[in-house]
Amino acid sequence: MADNRYVRGNFAPVTEEVTAHDLAVTGRIPPELSGRYLRIGPNPLGLEDPSAHIWTLGEGMVHGVRLREGRAEWYRNRWVRSTSVADRLGEPRRGAPVDDRMDFAPNVQVAGHGGRTYALLEGGIRPYELTYELDTVGPADLGATAEGFAANAHSKYEPSTGLLHALTFRYGADFVQHIEIGRHGEVNQVTNISTPSMPYMHDFALTENYVLIYESPLVFTNDRIATGVPFAWNPALGSRIGVLGRAGGTVRWLELAPGSVGHTLNAFEDGAKIVVDVIVHPHEYELTDIGGSRPILERWTIDLSIGTVRQDLLHDRPQDFPRMDGRRAGHPYRYGYSAVTELYATASAIDADRPDAGFSNALLKHDLRDGTTEAHEFGRDSAVGEAVFVPAAGSSAEDDGYTMAYIHDPDRGASDLVILAAQDFTGDPVARIHLPARVPLGLHGSWIPDF
């Protein structure tokens, strides 16, 4: 057990579901914030062999805080009840899985669409719908197509149209699908895109007129699909970006320097050019090894008239989990936010120092117009993950709002939901909401406002 850092420190799973009301707060919660901050991550429901545990394969658990009228009304954490989770908990199943071979409790993203809440994964595994209080309803058909694809973890919501867009793959398939999903979860349009090298496409980008697709040497291999980690780095393959019109048609591929995209910050059109801001892993790395790479923030400028991509470094501090003001998604913008990541040298260094290495104790705010970056540094042992931006009520200014993130409080041995004023990013938090339990390091989340 001591050899696997993903079962120790703040990666260690929690073993109980908790419900708590009227949470203690240091500072003042902005009374305009009415809704839920939700975040999901792997949280294995028991481990037969902890030393062999792969962090990304833990069953999904959602952690949520409900805010209203300046109060933190509740905190809840709940496992997503896939069929296997319900069976192991001795509970009734929440509907039948679409495919028993692909039934897994989603653990990558939790988001709202059409007034409903969904836990999302990728690889052709269907989302699960959740209630407002985070109980599982059952498998959902959000974006489901005849070929077995569905909305995935990095589906992108378009505020101007109310549409949801997904670029989704299925393990072992030699094509991906761009799916346009309507306001109520219906499929409006499907475009098949041939990908014979079977690249792993965790994320994509969307602009007003284009879908942007990332292809890299990180690919599926049929001999590894059964292991649960079906990816391998093929050094014989290069990297490129595909440009697809929103209406479908043919993808135009443009060459890139070798590397793999982790996540998209944003993309937009600048006259005849397309700008894409991305977190890039510039070298080979093991996908399941948090902290085994040095992801950096780059800007790619695509000139379709001459068929080139210019790649510029925006910031070289290791970072990931980029977010921005969602109202400007797909359009020109100024500010982006990300979480600092740690690069470790050896596994022994992790054991001796920080078992939660890979995540760090700082958040970044990038001013992409002025080329400056601010860092909010928490205490040394305070591990923090993705921060979500929430605009202030009635404001159209891009950074007039708040960033929210769960952070480990080592003094309490539990977690806080920290709210920062985006325009005073390095200042003291506006509020720290003290949770009654620890939120393990996890993946993505959303602020889902009440309407």
pLDDT averaged over every residue in the chain: 91
Domains, the chain, with CATH or none: 5-449 (2.120.10.30)
pLDDT at 400: 97
- Count of CB atoms within 10 A of residue 101's CB? 10
Q: What is the mean pLDDT of residues 390-412?
A: 94
* Banded model confidence at residue 10, pLDDT cuts 50, 70, 90: confident
Which pair of structure tokens corresponds to residue 146? Answer: 């005849």
**What tens digit of pLDDT does each residue of 86-109 get?**
999 999 999 887 777 678 999 999
Q: Is 97 helix (H, G, I), strand (E, B) or coil?
A: coil
**What tens digit of pLDDT does each residue of 16-37 get?**
999 999 999 999 999 999 999 9
Residue 370 backbone phi and psi in degrees, to 5: -90, -10
Cα dihedral 93, 98, 104, 107 sign: negative
**What tens digit of pLDDT does each residue of 129-162 get?**
999 999 999 999 999 999 989 999 999 999 999 9
Closest residue by Cα to residue 176 from 212, 225, 141, 226: 212
pLDDT at 271 over 80: yes
* Banded model confidence at residue 165, pLDDT cuts 50, 70, 90: very high
Q: What region does 287 belong to: left with phi over 0, alpha with psi -120 to 50, or beta?
A: alpha
**What tens digit of pLDDT does each residue of 172-207 get?**
789 999 999 999 999 999 999 999 988 889 999 999
Cα dihedral 39, 363, 348, 262 sign: positive
| Number of residues written out for the chain | 451
Q: How far apart are CA 89 and CA 45, in angstroms?
A: 9
Residues 6+ apart with CB under 8 A from 441: 10, 11, 41, 290, 356, 358, 359, 383, 385, 408
pLDDT at 351: 45
Residues 6+ apart with CB under 8 A from 413: 438
pLDDT at 291: 64
**C-beta of residue 129 within 8 angstroms of C-beta of residue 111:** no
Residues 6+ apart with CB under 8 A from 270: 301, 332
Percent of the chain with pLDDT over 90: 72
pLDDT at 1 over 60: no
Residue at 372: amino acid letter? T
Q: What is the mean pLDDT of residues 164-175?
A: 90
CA angle, 328 as apex, 326 and 329 as ends, to 5°?
65
**What tens digit of pLDDT does each residue of 343-392 get?**
544 344 444 445 455 678 999 999 999 999 999 999 878 889 999 999 99
Q: How far apart are CA 113 and CA 321, in angstroms?
A: 21
Q: How far apart are CA 280 and CA 276, in angstroms?
A: 11
Q: How far apart are CA 361 and CA 339, in angstroms?
A: 8
